[in-house]
Structure 1
Protein backbone atom coordinates (compact mmCIF):
# COMPACT_ATOMS: atom_id res chain seq x y z
CA UNK A 1 0.00 0.00 0.00
CA UNK A 2 1.38 3.41 -0.98
CA UNK A 3 2.17 5.84 1.82
CA UNK A 4 1.85 9.54 1.03
CA UNK A 5 4.87 11.74 1.76
CA UNK A 6 4.01 14.51 4.21
CA UNK A 7 5.25 18.08 3.64
CA UNK A 8 7.43 17.64 6.73
CA UNK A 9 9.12 14.58 5.21
CA UNK A 10 9.86 16.55 2.05
CA UNK A 11 11.61 19.35 3.93
CA UNK A 12 14.06 17.13 5.80
CA UNK A 13 17.83 16.97 5.31
CA UNK A 14 20.30 14.45 6.68
CA UNK A 15 21.10 16.73 9.60
CA UNK A 16 17.50 16.36 10.77
CA UNK A 17 16.86 12.67 10.07
CA UNK A 18 20.12 10.86 10.86
CA UNK A 19 19.68 10.34 14.61
CA UNK A 20 17.66 7.06 14.63
CA UNK A 21 20.01 5.41 12.14
CA UNK A 22 23.44 3.90 12.74
CA UNK A 23 24.09 2.38 9.31
CA UNK A 24 23.63 3.83 5.83
CA UNK A 25 23.37 2.08 2.46
CA UNK A 26 24.15 4.75 -0.12
CA UNK A 27 23.77 4.56 -3.87
CA UNK A 28 26.67 6.13 -5.78
CA UNK A 29 25.74 7.51 -9.23
CA UNK A 30 23.20 10.31 -8.92
CA UNK A 31 23.57 10.51 -5.13
CA UNK A 32 27.20 11.23 -4.25
CA UNK A 33 28.74 11.59 -7.72
CA UNK A 34 27.87 11.76 -11.41
CA UNK A 35 30.48 9.30 -12.64
CA UNK A 36 33.07 12.06 -13.02
CA UNK A 37 32.85 14.37 -10.01
CA UNK A 38 31.44 14.43 -6.49
CA UNK A 39 28.06 16.15 -6.44
CA UNK A 40 27.65 19.47 -4.59
CA UNK A 41 27.36 18.95 -0.85
CA UNK A 42 27.97 15.19 -1.01
CA UNK A 43 31.40 15.11 0.63
CA UNK A 44 30.23 17.56 3.30
CA UNK A 45 27.29 15.29 4.05
CA UNK A 46 29.53 12.21 4.25
CA UNK A 47 31.90 14.02 6.59
CA UNK A 48 29.06 14.97 8.91
CA UNK A 49 27.60 11.47 8.94
CA UNK A 50 31.04 10.10 9.84
CA UNK A 51 31.43 12.74 12.54
CA UNK A 52 28.28 11.25 14.07
CA UNK A 53 29.85 7.75 13.97
CA UNK A 54 27.66 6.43 11.17
CA UNK A 55 28.70 3.26 9.32
CA UNK A 56 28.44 3.77 5.55
CA UNK A 57 28.36 1.22 2.75
CA UNK A 58 28.04 2.19 -0.90
CA UNK A 59 25.71 -0.24 -2.66
CA UNK A 60 25.93 0.09 -6.43
CA UNK A 61 24.55 -1.56 -9.54
CA UNK A 62 27.88 -1.06 -11.27
CA UNK A 63 29.22 -4.25 -12.86
CA UNK A 64 32.71 -3.28 -11.72
CA UNK A 65 33.98 -4.88 -8.50
CA UNK A 66 34.09 -2.71 -5.40
CA UNK A 67 37.87 -2.33 -5.33
CA UNK A 68 37.75 -0.76 -8.79
CA UNK A 69 34.99 1.61 -7.72
CA UNK A 70 37.14 2.55 -4.74
CA UNK A 71 39.79 3.82 -7.18
CA UNK A 72 37.12 5.82 -9.02
CA UNK A 73 35.96 7.39 -5.77
CA UNK A 74 39.51 8.23 -4.69
CA UNK A 75 39.82 10.38 -7.79
CA UNK A 76 36.80 12.38 -6.64
CA UNK A 77 38.14 12.94 -3.14
CA UNK A 78 35.89 10.32 -1.54
CA UNK A 79 38.11 7.96 0.43
CA UNK A 80 37.50 4.68 2.19
CA UNK A 81 38.04 4.96 5.92
CA UNK A 82 37.56 8.71 5.89
CA UNK A 83 34.17 8.95 4.19
CA UNK A 84 32.85 5.37 4.16
CA UNK A 85 33.49 1.80 5.29
CA UNK A 86 32.68 -0.51 2.37
CA UNK A 87 31.57 -0.73 -1.25
CA UNK A 88 29.43 -3.61 -2.49
CA UNK A 89 28.53 -3.68 -6.18
CA UNK A 90 26.48 -5.87 -8.45
CA UNK A 91 29.85 -6.88 -9.90
CA UNK A 92 30.79 -8.21 -6.47
CA UNK A 93 27.44 -10.01 -6.32
CA UNK A 94 28.16 -11.63 -9.70
CA UNK A 95 31.57 -12.81 -8.48
CA UNK A 96 30.03 -14.27 -5.32
CA UNK A 97 27.23 -15.92 -7.27
CA UNK A 98 29.27 -17.44 -10.08
CA UNK A 99 31.89 -18.75 -7.66
CA UNK A 100 29.28 -20.50 -5.54
CA UNK A 101 29.60 -24.26 -6.24
CA UNK A 102 25.82 -24.59 -5.94
CA UNK A 103 25.25 -22.07 -8.74
CA UNK A 104 24.21 -23.82 -11.97
CA UNK A 105 26.61 -21.64 -13.98
CA UNK A 106 29.64 -21.89 -11.69
CA UNK A 107 32.70 -22.92 -13.70
CA UNK A 108 30.75 -22.90 -16.98
CA UNK A 109 31.85 -21.28 -20.24
CA UNK A 110 30.41 -17.84 -20.88
CA UNK A 111 30.09 -15.31 -23.68
CA UNK A 112 30.99 -11.82 -22.51
CA UNK A 113 28.81 -8.94 -23.70
CA UNK A 114 30.16 -5.60 -22.56
CA UNK A 115 32.98 -3.10 -22.67
CA UNK A 116 36.37 -4.83 -22.61
CA UNK A 117 37.85 -1.78 -20.88
CA UNK A 118 35.81 -2.67 -17.81
CA UNK A 119 35.78 -6.43 -18.38
CA UNK A 120 38.98 -7.68 -16.87
CA UNK A 121 38.47 -6.61 -13.23
CA UNK A 122 35.29 -8.70 -13.17
CA UNK A 123 36.28 -11.57 -15.44
CA UNK A 124 39.51 -12.32 -13.64
CA UNK A 125 37.55 -13.10 -10.48
CA UNK A 126 34.94 -15.53 -11.80
CA UNK A 127 35.26 -19.24 -12.45
CA UNK A 128 34.68 -20.58 -15.92
CA UNK A 129 36.19 -19.77 -19.29
CA UNK A 130 35.30 -17.01 -21.70
CA UNK A 131 34.39 -18.14 -25.19
CA UNK A 132 33.96 -16.05 -28.32
CA UNK A 133 31.53 -18.61 -29.72
CA UNK A 134 28.02 -17.70 -28.63
CA UNK A 135 26.61 -21.08 -29.57
CA UNK A 136 29.11 -22.90 -27.34
CA UNK A 137 28.56 -20.64 -24.34
CA UNK A 138 26.57 -21.90 -21.36
CA UNK A 139 25.40 -18.38 -20.59
CA UNK A 140 25.96 -14.72 -21.48
CA UNK A 141 27.55 -12.35 -18.97
CA UNK A 142 26.17 -8.88 -19.72
CA UNK A 143 27.83 -5.83 -18.16
CA UNK A 144 27.45 -2.88 -20.55
CA UNK A 145 25.62 -1.70 -23.66
CA UNK A 146 27.86 -1.92 -26.72
CA UNK A 147 27.20 -1.49 -30.47
CA UNK A 148 26.69 -5.25 -30.90
CA UNK A 149 24.21 -5.65 -28.03
CA UNK A 150 21.02 -5.94 -30.09
CA UNK A 151 22.60 -8.30 -32.62
CA UNK A 152 24.07 -10.59 -29.95
CA UNK A 153 20.89 -10.72 -27.90
CA UNK A 154 18.77 -11.46 -30.95
CA UNK A 155 20.97 -14.47 -31.71
CA UNK A 156 21.09 -15.45 -28.02
CA UNK A 157 17.30 -15.50 -27.92
CA UNK A 158 17.25 -17.84 -30.89
CA UNK A 159 19.74 -20.12 -29.11
CA UNK A 160 17.78 -19.93 -25.84
CA UNK A 161 20.77 -18.67 -23.85
CA UNK A 162 20.43 -17.49 -20.26
CA UNK A 163 21.46 -13.87 -19.80
CA UNK A 164 23.19 -12.89 -16.56
CA UNK A 165 22.74 -9.14 -16.17
CA UNK A 166 25.40 -7.55 -13.96
CA UNK A 167 23.73 -4.14 -13.94
CA UNK A 168 19.93 -4.03 -13.60
CA UNK A 169 19.82 -0.23 -13.95
CA UNK A 170 17.82 1.06 -16.92
CA UNK A 171 19.34 4.55 -16.82
CA UNK A 172 22.14 6.28 -14.92
CA UNK A 173 23.81 9.67 -14.79
CA UNK A 174 27.33 10.12 -16.11
CA UNK A 175 28.98 13.50 -16.34
CA UNK A 176 25.66 15.24 -15.85
CA UNK A 177 23.97 13.34 -18.69
CA UNK A 178 21.46 10.52 -18.42
CA UNK A 179 22.30 7.37 -20.39
CA UNK A 180 20.90 3.88 -20.82
CA UNK A 181 22.23 0.86 -18.93
CA UNK A 182 22.17 -2.95 -19.42
CA UNK A 183 18.93 -3.37 -17.49
CA UNK A 184 17.05 -1.81 -20.39
CA UNK A 185 18.21 -4.44 -22.89
CA UNK A 186 17.83 -7.22 -20.31
CA UNK A 187 14.20 -6.29 -19.72
CA UNK A 188 13.58 -6.38 -23.48
CA UNK A 189 15.27 -9.79 -23.70
CA UNK A 190 13.05 -11.06 -20.90
CA UNK A 191 9.93 -9.56 -22.47
CA UNK A 192 10.74 -11.40 -25.70
CA UNK A 193 10.86 -14.72 -23.87
CA UNK A 194 14.50 -14.91 -22.82
CA UNK A 195 15.69 -16.06 -19.40
CA UNK A 196 17.44 -13.34 -17.37
CA UNK A 197 19.20 -13.60 -14.01
CA UNK A 198 19.77 -10.18 -12.42
CA UNK A 199 22.46 -9.35 -9.88
CA UNK A 200 22.04 -6.09 -7.96
CA UNK A 201 19.27 -3.82 -6.75
CA UNK A 202 16.31 -4.23 -6.27
CA UNK A 203 16.90 -7.93 -5.60
CA UNK A 204 17.42 -9.10 -1.99
CA UNK A 205 20.79 -10.93 -2.31
CA UNK A 206 22.84 -7.74 -2.78
CA UNK A 207 21.15 -6.20 0.26
CA UNK A 208 21.68 -9.32 2.35
CA UNK A 209 25.39 -9.44 1.55
CA UNK A 210 25.72 -5.67 2.08
CA UNK A 211 24.08 -5.86 5.50
CA UNK A 212 26.32 -8.80 6.36
CA UNK A 213 29.37 -6.62 5.61
CA UNK A 214 27.98 -4.11 8.10
CA UNK A 215 27.55 -6.78 10.77
CA UNK A 216 23.82 -7.36 10.19
CA UNK A 217 22.52 -4.36 12.14
CA UNK A 218 18.82 -4.22 13.09
CA UNK A 219 16.87 -3.12 10.03
CA UNK A 220 15.24 -0.25 11.89
CA UNK A 221 18.74 1.21 12.35
CA UNK A 222 19.51 1.17 8.61
CA UNK A 223 18.70 3.96 6.15
CA UNK A 224 19.04 3.38 2.42
CA UNK A 225 19.53 6.29 0.01
CA UNK A 226 19.15 6.25 -3.77
CA UNK A 227 17.88 8.07 -6.84
CA UNK A 228 16.16 5.17 -8.61
CA UNK A 229 12.57 4.38 -7.64
CA UNK A 230 12.57 0.97 -9.36
CA UNK A 231 15.92 -0.14 -7.94
CA UNK A 232 16.91 1.75 -4.78
CA UNK A 233 13.47 2.48 -3.38
CA UNK A 234 11.79 -0.74 -4.47
CA UNK A 235 14.71 -2.79 -3.15
CA UNK A 236 14.65 -1.06 0.22
CA UNK A 237 10.88 -1.53 0.43
CA UNK A 238 11.30 -5.25 -0.23
CA UNK A 239 13.91 -5.49 2.53
CA UNK A 240 11.84 -3.51 5.03
CA UNK A 241 14.32 -0.62 5.21
CA UNK A 242 13.64 3.09 5.53
CA UNK A 243 14.80 4.87 2.39
CA UNK A 244 15.43 8.34 0.98
CA UNK A 245 14.64 9.09 -2.67
CA UNK A 246 17.01 11.69 -4.13
CA UNK A 247 14.99 13.67 -6.69
CA UNK A 248 17.94 15.33 -8.44
CA UNK A 249 19.23 12.01 -9.84
CA UNK A 250 17.71 10.03 -12.70
CA UNK A 251 14.21 11.42 -11.99
CA UNK A 252 15.35 15.05 -12.03
CA UNK A 253 13.34 15.90 -15.17
CA UNK A 254 10.08 14.81 -13.54
CA UNK A 255 8.10 17.33 -11.55
CA UNK A 256 7.46 16.52 -7.90
CA UNK A 257 3.78 16.08 -8.72
CA UNK A 258 4.53 13.63 -11.53
CA UNK A 259 7.01 11.74 -9.36
CA UNK A 260 4.51 11.42 -6.52
CA UNK A 261 1.87 10.14 -8.94
CA UNK A 262 4.21 7.47 -10.32
CA UNK A 263 5.22 6.37 -6.83
CA UNK A 264 1.58 6.04 -5.81
CA UNK A 265 0.55 4.20 -8.98
CA UNK A 266 3.38 1.67 -8.67
CA UNK A 267 3.15 1.33 -4.87
CA UNK A 268 6.76 2.42 -4.30
CA UNK A 269 7.25 4.03 -0.90
CA UNK A 270 10.19 6.26 0.00
CA UNK A 271 10.32 7.26 3.66
CA UNK A 272 11.67 10.67 2.64
CA UNK A 273 12.13 12.58 -0.61
CA UNK A 274 15.01 15.04 -0.82
CA UNK A 275 16.25 17.18 -3.65
CA UNK A 276 19.83 15.99 -3.16
CA UNK A 277 22.20 14.26 -0.74
CA UNK A 278 22.90 17.16 1.61
CA UNK A 279 23.57 17.70 5.30
CA UNK A 280 21.60 20.93 5.53
CA UNK A 281 19.95 23.35 3.15
CA UNK A 282 22.25 25.87 1.49
Structure 2
Protein backbone atom coordinates (compact mmCIF):
# COMPACT_ATOMS: atom_id res chain seq x y z
CA UNK A 1 0.00 0.00 0.00
CA UNK A 2 1.34 3.42 -1.00
CA UNK A 3 1.63 5.86 1.90
CA UNK A 4 0.51 9.44 1.19
CA UNK A 5 2.91 11.95 2.72
CA UNK A 6 2.31 15.50 3.90
CA UNK A 7 5.84 16.65 3.07
CA UNK A 8 9.32 15.39 2.31
CA UNK A 9 10.27 16.34 5.85
CA UNK A 10 8.17 13.37 7.03
CA UNK A 11 11.06 11.19 5.86
CA UNK A 12 13.85 13.06 7.62
CA UNK A 13 16.66 10.70 8.58
CA UNK A 14 15.47 7.75 6.49
CA UNK A 15 17.45 8.41 3.30
CA UNK A 16 21.01 9.42 2.49
CA UNK A 17 20.09 10.78 -0.94
CA UNK A 18 17.19 11.51 -3.27
CA UNK A 19 17.12 11.10 -7.04
CA UNK A 20 14.65 13.86 -7.90
CA UNK A 21 13.04 14.49 -11.28
CA UNK A 22 12.84 18.06 -12.61
CA UNK A 23 9.89 18.70 -14.93
CA UNK A 24 6.65 18.32 -13.00
CA UNK A 25 8.43 18.12 -9.64
CA UNK A 26 10.81 21.06 -9.31
CA UNK A 27 9.52 23.23 -12.18
CA UNK A 28 7.08 23.28 -15.11
CA UNK A 29 9.52 24.53 -17.73
CA UNK A 30 8.58 28.14 -17.10
CA UNK A 31 8.85 28.64 -13.35
CA UNK A 32 10.24 26.81 -10.33
CA UNK A 33 7.91 25.55 -7.61
CA UNK A 34 8.89 27.39 -4.39
CA UNK A 35 7.60 24.61 -2.11
CA UNK A 36 9.64 21.99 -3.99
CA UNK A 37 12.77 24.15 -3.78
CA UNK A 38 12.25 24.53 -0.03
CA UNK A 39 11.73 20.78 0.39
CA UNK A 40 15.03 19.95 -1.31
CA UNK A 41 16.85 22.66 0.63
CA UNK A 42 15.45 21.16 3.82
CA UNK A 43 16.59 17.67 2.83
CA UNK A 44 20.12 18.93 2.24
CA UNK A 45 20.09 20.86 5.51
CA UNK A 46 19.29 17.59 7.30
CA UNK A 47 22.44 16.00 5.82
CA UNK A 48 21.07 14.37 2.67
CA UNK A 49 22.39 14.61 -0.89
CA UNK A 50 20.09 15.83 -3.67
CA UNK A 51 20.74 14.40 -7.13
CA UNK A 52 18.58 15.97 -9.83
CA UNK A 53 17.99 13.02 -12.15
CA UNK A 54 16.39 14.13 -15.39
CA UNK A 55 15.57 12.68 -18.78
CA UNK A 56 16.66 15.94 -20.42
CA UNK A 57 18.60 14.97 -23.56
CA UNK A 58 21.14 17.73 -23.01
CA UNK A 59 24.36 17.54 -20.96
CA UNK A 60 24.51 18.58 -17.33
CA UNK A 61 25.86 22.07 -18.05
CA UNK A 62 22.79 22.93 -20.15
CA UNK A 63 20.45 21.89 -17.36
CA UNK A 64 22.41 23.94 -14.82
CA UNK A 65 21.96 26.98 -17.08
CA UNK A 66 18.23 26.27 -17.40
CA UNK A 67 17.79 25.99 -13.63
CA UNK A 68 19.72 29.22 -13.11
CA UNK A 69 17.36 30.87 -15.60
CA UNK A 70 14.38 29.59 -13.59
CA UNK A 71 15.96 31.01 -10.40
CA UNK A 72 16.38 27.60 -8.78
CA UNK A 73 19.01 28.28 -6.09
CA UNK A 74 22.11 26.11 -6.21
CA UNK A 75 21.73 25.20 -2.55
CA UNK A 76 18.70 23.10 -3.55
CA UNK A 77 20.87 20.40 -5.15
CA UNK A 78 24.25 18.70 -5.04
CA UNK A 79 24.50 16.92 -8.39
CA UNK A 80 22.74 16.81 -11.75
CA UNK A 81 22.68 13.68 -13.89
CA UNK A 82 20.90 13.78 -17.24
CA UNK A 83 19.74 11.25 -19.77
CA UNK A 84 21.89 13.27 -22.14
CA UNK A 85 24.97 12.50 -20.03
CA UNK A 86 24.26 8.78 -20.09
CA UNK A 87 23.39 8.81 -23.80
CA UNK A 88 26.60 10.70 -24.60
CA UNK A 89 28.54 7.83 -23.06
CA UNK A 90 26.63 5.40 -25.28
CA UNK A 91 27.27 7.50 -28.38
CA UNK A 92 30.98 7.94 -27.62
CA UNK A 93 31.34 4.18 -27.15
CA UNK A 94 29.99 3.64 -30.67
CA UNK A 95 26.64 2.13 -29.68
CA UNK A 96 25.06 3.34 -32.95
CA UNK A 97 28.23 3.74 -34.99
CA UNK A 98 30.51 6.72 -35.50
CA UNK A 99 28.57 8.24 -38.43
CA UNK A 100 25.24 9.33 -37.02
CA UNK A 101 22.18 11.18 -38.20
CA UNK A 102 20.79 13.61 -35.63
CA UNK A 103 17.08 14.18 -35.07
CA UNK A 104 16.63 17.04 -32.63
CA UNK A 105 16.35 20.76 -32.03
CA UNK A 106 19.07 23.42 -32.30
CA UNK A 107 18.90 23.73 -28.50
CA UNK A 108 20.31 20.18 -28.32
CA UNK A 109 23.54 20.97 -30.19
CA UNK A 110 25.49 20.81 -26.94
CA UNK A 111 24.86 17.06 -26.88
CA UNK A 112 27.65 16.68 -29.46
CA UNK A 113 30.12 19.20 -28.06
CA UNK A 114 29.72 19.68 -24.30
CA UNK A 115 30.85 16.79 -22.12
CA UNK A 116 31.08 16.65 -18.32
CA UNK A 117 34.52 16.03 -16.84
CA UNK A 118 34.30 12.25 -16.68
CA UNK A 119 32.81 12.06 -20.18
CA UNK A 120 35.29 14.56 -21.62
CA UNK A 121 38.18 12.38 -20.52
CA UNK A 122 36.54 9.37 -22.18
CA UNK A 123 35.73 11.32 -25.36
CA UNK A 124 39.39 12.24 -25.75
CA UNK A 125 40.27 8.54 -26.10
CA UNK A 126 37.62 7.72 -28.75
CA UNK A 127 37.43 8.26 -32.52
CA UNK A 128 35.33 11.30 -33.47
CA UNK A 129 31.59 11.20 -34.03
CA UNK A 130 30.55 12.50 -37.46
CA UNK A 131 27.05 13.80 -38.20
CA UNK A 132 25.82 12.85 -41.65
CA UNK A 133 22.62 12.69 -43.76
CA UNK A 134 20.32 9.79 -43.00
CA UNK A 135 21.30 7.69 -46.04
CA UNK A 136 24.99 7.89 -45.05
CA UNK A 137 24.47 7.08 -41.38
CA UNK A 138 25.35 4.01 -39.34
CA UNK A 139 22.79 4.99 -36.71
CA UNK A 140 20.40 7.67 -35.49
CA UNK A 141 20.82 9.89 -32.44
CA UNK A 142 17.43 11.27 -31.37
CA UNK A 143 17.38 14.06 -28.79
CA UNK A 144 13.83 15.17 -29.57
CA UNK A 145 11.71 16.89 -32.18
CA UNK A 146 13.22 19.72 -34.20
CA UNK A 147 10.35 22.01 -33.16
CA UNK A 148 8.37 20.53 -30.28
CA UNK A 149 6.05 23.55 -30.17
CA UNK A 150 4.54 22.75 -33.58
CA UNK A 151 5.50 19.19 -34.56
CA UNK A 152 4.22 15.73 -33.63
CA UNK A 153 5.69 12.26 -34.25
CA UNK A 154 3.56 12.02 -37.42
CA UNK A 155 5.84 14.63 -39.01
CA UNK A 156 8.71 12.13 -38.79
CA UNK A 157 7.01 9.09 -40.26
CA UNK A 158 8.88 9.21 -43.59
CA UNK A 159 12.30 9.67 -41.97
CA UNK A 160 11.65 6.90 -39.45
CA UNK A 161 10.48 4.51 -42.18
CA UNK A 162 13.67 5.21 -44.12
CA UNK A 163 15.75 4.60 -41.02
CA UNK A 164 13.95 1.30 -40.46
CA UNK A 165 14.48 0.31 -44.11
CA UNK A 166 18.20 1.05 -43.73
CA UNK A 167 18.20 -1.02 -40.49
CA UNK A 168 19.69 1.84 -38.48
CA UNK A 169 19.71 1.57 -34.68
CA UNK A 170 18.37 4.62 -32.84
CA UNK A 171 19.95 6.04 -29.69
CA UNK A 172 17.16 7.75 -27.74
CA UNK A 173 18.57 10.47 -25.47
CA UNK A 174 15.26 11.09 -23.66
CA UNK A 175 12.81 8.22 -23.03
CA UNK A 176 10.03 10.61 -21.94
CA UNK A 177 7.00 10.51 -24.24
CA UNK A 178 5.60 13.93 -23.28
CA UNK A 179 6.41 16.81 -20.97
CA UNK A 180 4.32 19.75 -19.76
CA UNK A 181 5.63 23.23 -20.59
CA UNK A 182 3.38 25.43 -18.48
CA UNK A 183 -0.08 24.37 -19.61
CA UNK A 184 1.09 22.88 -22.93
CA UNK A 185 1.89 19.21 -23.44
CA UNK A 186 4.82 18.61 -25.80
CA UNK A 187 6.27 15.47 -27.38
CA UNK A 188 9.78 14.27 -26.45
CA UNK A 189 12.34 11.96 -28.04
CA UNK A 190 10.68 8.96 -26.44
CA UNK A 191 7.62 9.49 -28.62
CA UNK A 192 9.78 9.18 -31.76
CA UNK A 193 11.56 6.13 -30.34
CA UNK A 194 8.19 4.55 -29.55
CA UNK A 195 7.02 5.16 -33.13
CA UNK A 196 10.29 3.73 -34.48
CA UNK A 197 9.92 0.59 -32.39
CA UNK A 198 6.32 0.20 -33.60
CA UNK A 199 7.72 0.08 -37.15
CA UNK A 200 10.18 -2.61 -36.07
CA UNK A 201 13.17 -0.33 -35.60
CA UNK A 202 15.92 -1.02 -33.06
CA UNK A 203 16.13 1.49 -30.21
CA UNK A 204 18.61 1.98 -27.36
CA UNK A 205 17.57 3.92 -24.25
CA UNK A 206 19.83 5.56 -21.68
CA UNK A 207 17.47 7.57 -19.44
CA UNK A 208 14.87 6.57 -16.86
CA UNK A 209 13.59 3.86 -16.41
CA UNK A 210 16.66 2.18 -17.95
CA UNK A 211 19.80 1.23 -15.98
CA UNK A 212 22.52 3.43 -17.59
CA UNK A 213 21.35 6.70 -16.01
CA UNK A 214 21.10 5.10 -12.56
CA UNK A 215 24.57 3.59 -12.90
CA UNK A 216 25.97 7.03 -13.76
CA UNK A 217 24.08 8.69 -10.90
CA UNK A 218 25.35 6.17 -8.36
CA UNK A 219 28.92 6.60 -9.56
CA UNK A 220 28.77 10.38 -9.31
CA UNK A 221 27.05 10.17 -5.93
CA UNK A 222 29.87 7.97 -4.61
CA UNK A 223 32.44 10.42 -5.97
CA UNK A 224 30.62 13.21 -4.10
CA UNK A 225 31.22 11.48 -0.77
CA UNK A 226 28.00 9.55 -0.20
CA UNK A 227 28.26 6.56 2.16
CA UNK A 228 28.75 3.09 0.74
CA UNK A 229 25.41 1.54 -0.31
CA UNK A 230 23.39 4.71 0.44
CA UNK A 231 19.65 4.64 1.11
CA UNK A 232 18.16 6.39 -1.94
CA UNK A 233 14.63 7.68 -2.57
CA UNK A 234 13.51 8.26 -6.17
CA UNK A 235 11.08 11.18 -6.61
CA UNK A 236 9.10 11.82 -9.78
CA UNK A 237 5.78 12.36 -11.52
CA UNK A 238 6.47 9.93 -14.39
CA UNK A 239 4.94 6.62 -13.39
CA UNK A 240 6.56 4.78 -16.32
CA UNK A 241 9.95 6.46 -15.98
CA UNK A 242 10.68 7.78 -12.47
CA UNK A 243 8.66 5.25 -10.53
CA UNK A 244 9.06 2.15 -12.67
CA UNK A 245 12.76 2.92 -12.97
CA UNK A 246 13.23 3.35 -9.23
CA UNK A 247 11.38 0.14 -8.46
CA UNK A 248 13.44 -1.67 -11.08
CA UNK A 249 16.60 -0.50 -9.32
CA UNK A 250 15.33 -1.81 -5.99
CA UNK A 251 14.91 1.71 -4.57
CA UNK A 252 12.09 3.34 -2.63
CA UNK A 253 9.96 5.75 -4.65
CA UNK A 254 7.86 8.87 -4.09
CA UNK A 255 5.21 9.46 -6.75
CA UNK A 256 4.27 13.11 -7.31
CA UNK A 257 0.65 12.69 -8.35
CA UNK A 258 0.06 16.38 -9.11
CA UNK A 259 2.34 16.33 -12.17
CA UNK A 260 1.67 14.56 -15.47
CA UNK A 261 -1.22 12.50 -14.02
CA UNK A 262 -2.83 15.26 -11.92
CA UNK A 263 -6.29 14.98 -13.54
CA UNK A 264 -6.72 11.37 -12.41
CA UNK A 265 -6.90 11.89 -8.66
CA UNK A 266 -9.59 14.46 -7.96
CA UNK A 267 -10.01 18.23 -8.21
CA UNK A 268 -7.13 19.20 -5.89
CA UNK A 269 -3.67 18.39 -7.34
CA UNK A 270 -2.12 19.10 -3.94
CA UNK A 271 -4.16 16.37 -2.24
CA UNK A 272 -4.83 13.22 -4.31
CA UNK A 273 -7.92 11.18 -3.53
CA UNK A 274 -6.53 8.01 -1.88
CA UNK A 275 -9.14 5.69 -3.37
CA UNK A 276 -8.59 6.96 -6.92
CA UNK A 277 -4.85 6.75 -6.48
CA UNK A 278 -4.96 3.17 -5.17
CA UNK A 279 -7.31 2.03 -7.94
CA UNK A 280 -5.09 3.51 -10.64
CA UNK A 281 -1.90 2.06 -9.20
CA UNK A 282 -3.56 -1.35 -8.80
CA UNK A 283 -4.47 -1.26 -12.48
CA UNK A 284 -0.84 -0.62 -13.37
CA UNK A 285 0.37 -3.27 -10.90
CA UNK A 286 2.76 -0.72 -9.43
CA UNK A 287 3.16 0.25 -5.81
CA UNK A 288 5.30 3.33 -5.11
CA UNK A 289 6.51 3.47 -1.53
CA UNK A 290 5.00 6.94 -1.06
CA UNK A 291 2.88 9.51 -2.87
CA UNK A 292 2.38 13.25 -2.55
CA UNK A 293 0.31 15.72 -4.52
CA UNK A 294 3.10 18.23 -5.13
CA UNK A 295 6.65 18.08 -3.81
CA UNK A 296 6.82 20.14 -0.64
Establish whether TM, by shorter chain, passes 0.5: yes
Aligned-partner Cα distance in 1 for 2:238–2:96: 29
Q: Do structure 1's residue 231 and structure 2's residue 220 form an aligned pair?
A: no
Aligned to 2:118: none
Q: Name the SS of the counterpart of 1:41 in structure 2.
A: helix
Structure 1: where are the runs of 5+ without partners?
none
1:274 has 2:265 as partner: no
Distance 2:175 2:236 in 1: 14
Deviation digits for residues 169-201 of structure 1 (CA, Å, limit 9, x no counterpart): 011121233222221221121122110011100
What pairs with 1:1-282 in structure 2 (closer than 5 Å)? 4-5=1-2, 9-80=3-74, 82-100=75-93, 103-105=94-96, 108-116=98-106, 118-125=107-114, 127-131=128-132, 133-146=133-146, 147=151, 148-215=155-222, 217=227, 221-255=231-265, 256=273, 257-278=275-296
Name the TM-score, length of structure 2 as normaliser: 0.84
* Aligned-residue offset at 1:98: 1.9
Contact 1:70/1:79, CA 8 A, preserved across alignment: no
Tell me how far apart the structure 2 counterparts of residues 233 and 43 of structure 1 sit (CA, whole Å): 20
Instruction: State the 1:220 CA deviation.
Output: 6.0
CA distance in 2 between partners of 1:12 and 1:248 (Å): 13
Is the deviation greater in 151-160 or in 54-63? 151-160
Tell me how many residue pairs correspond in the alignment.
266
Contact kept in structure 2, 1:145 and 1:182, CA below 8 Å = yes
User: What is the DSSP-based 3-state SS (H/G/I as helix, E as strand, rest coil) of the residue aligned with 1:244?
Assistant: strand
CA RMSD after TM alignment = 1.8
Following superposition, the deviation at residue 218 of structure 1 comes to 5.3
Q: 2-side partners of 1:52 and 1:29: how far apart?
A: 24
